[in-house]
């Protein structure tokens, strides 16, 4: 099945001024991103099961999601007004939606980088562009929210930015001040996000 027939409806819903209708659209988008993420291997939390799967089969899954991923990317910019909503619940849901989309992108990128099964090169390593165009359109608003006087809004923005991973690293100057935020919660998430970018030291060989 494809969501293509529903795209016009979702785009309209995401432009709604009715809070209930808008929240329904955001929740639909978040669930769509979550469904993609749930079907892709995550080496951070599923080490015992998913990584035993043939990388080639994982990439087949990603290929099957191709149309859905493109649809999700085309809808992502529609979240931007909700990130600036005057309704706290709508803003929170919008940031959680961005977080879910960015997480789906992270897993798609990891899957695309898996080497194919030896002897089978049908699926080459893909470029790092899954869901990135749509997510990049939201960066100015997320950076703006990171400077808000509302600590909760700053926290939501930082939580969403954390899942952008390498997409925000070239612009790390926008988040580098976050570890000095007045809110300890923002500082914690910012430190966690920036800490993930620190190259890991190579393991020392065992002493013989």
Cα separation, 134 vs 121, whole angstroms: 29
Q: What is the DSSP string of 149-206?
A: S-HHHHHHHHHHHHTTGGGTGGGGGGTTTGGG-SSHHHHHHHHHHHHTTSPPPPPPPP
- pLDDT value at position 128? 57
Consecutive 10-residue averages of pLDDT for the chain (208 residues): 75 89 93 87 56 65 81 92 93 95 87 63 57 92 92 93 81 77 90 72 48
- pLDDT value at position 43? 59
- Decide: residue 116, CB within 10 A, 0-12 exposed, 13-18 middle, 19+ buried: middle
- pLDDT value at position 51? 46
């Amino acid at each position: 099945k494809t969501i293509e027939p529903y795209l016009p409806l979702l785009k309209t819903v995401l432009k709604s001024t009715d809070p209930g209708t808008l929240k329904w659209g955001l929740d639909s988008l978040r669930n769509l991103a979550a469904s993609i993420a749930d079907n892709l291997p995550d080496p951070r939390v599923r080490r015992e099961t998913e990584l035993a799967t043939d990388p080639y089969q994982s990439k087949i899954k990603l290929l099957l999601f191709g149309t859905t991923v493109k649809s999700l990317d085309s809808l992502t910019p529609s979240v931007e007004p909700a990130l600036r909503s005057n309704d706290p619940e709508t803003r929170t849901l919008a940031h959680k939606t961005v977080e879910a989309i960015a997480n789906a992108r992270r897993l798609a990128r990891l899957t695309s980088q898996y080497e194919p099964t030896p002897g089978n090169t049908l699926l080459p390593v893909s470029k790092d562009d899954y869901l990135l165009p749509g997510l990049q359109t939201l960066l100015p608003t997320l950076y703006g929210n990171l400077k808000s006087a509302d600590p909760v809004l700053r926290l939501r923005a930082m939580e969403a930015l954390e899942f952008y991973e390498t997409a925000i690293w070239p612009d790390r100057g926008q988040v580098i001040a976050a570890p000095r935020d007045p809110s300890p919660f923002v500082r914690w998430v910012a430190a966690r996000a920036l800490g993930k970018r620190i190259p890991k030291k190579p393991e020392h060989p065992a002493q013989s």
